[in-house]
Structure 1
Amino acid sequence: MDSRIRCSPIKLFEGMCKRSFQAASSRSVQFAALVINRHGSGFVPKGSHVLLSRIGLGRNPETWEEPLKYNPERHLGGNVSKVDLSEPNLRFLTFSTGKRACTGQIIGTLLTIMALGNLIQRFTWSLPPNEEKIDLSTSEELTLAKPLQAYARPRLDEVLYQL
């Protein structure tokens, strides 16, 4: 159990995965609005086309306290028994929402968590010798400005990787 947030390492790991979805959502989503109120002032008329910036939602300081700070605990809230990537309040969009939501949301989430968990469990990760820190600045495209490079050293016995 992690004493800081009183949950198991598995739940903390799930929060880390959800944080990565919040911080790195890509592409904007367009939909026709019914009526959208914003902070009680004004509205978007029915039939309007609205473009939601996924990156903007995940990094909005009005929604997230210190949105660029790595803090996976924020996604655990009071409910540490389940991490759900459906976000009814549209604080971030991972698999879209409503009628157009991705039907593969559950399997996509599980595969992401399993893949990341396997990479963390099976390898010790380090930066290349000439790097001091990871540069996570983004470009105008959907990629990092500088490609991420890391060294993976197996941490388990070689025979276990053949299973």
Structure 2
Amino acid sequence: MDARYSLIPTVEKETDPVTLIVHRTEDTHEQLELLLAVEGAKTLKLVPGRDLNGAKIMMRAGASFSRHSGVRLSNGFNVVDPSAWHRQGIGTVALNLMIEWAKRLHPDADVRPVELKRYKQGIEGDDPRLAFYRRFNLQWNLADQDQDAVNLLSVPMTVRDLQTAPLSARLTRLP
């Protein structure tokens, strides 16, 4: 286990702090893979193959590097599951760790554009995912987006321009 955090969730029926566990399954020059799990939550059921030593895996996150295409801040599907646990700070912890990894190993590399599936035309400005990623200095020029595109793409940037985001006051790193 890499890190443990005390988390005071705002999830309905969760009245006590739980423990967020971050486990690095791979940390090399080319790849970072993380498992983020919650221990002690009353509303979560453990599922064989989806737990980490008795903690419910909420997110499998990762970043990778290619000398041809730069740093990718996703392993394809970085999403907290179940959705009732969105907005608890779990995604912020994961993305902060991916950015720290990229800055440590590849500060001058390009960041591959982050792709967000477009759900509805014309509501991009209100999309909470954009607000989340903007906290890390990722930007979208919505005026430049192809109106027929399936995905919204972030503006090109280098790893050096990324920033980590502050953690919620409900998260405290444990020793």
Q: TM-score, normalised by structure 1?
A: 0.22
Greater fraction of residues in helix? 1
* Greater Rg over alpha carbons, structure: 1
Greater fraction of residues in strand? 2
Q: TM-score, normalised by structure 2?
A: 0.21
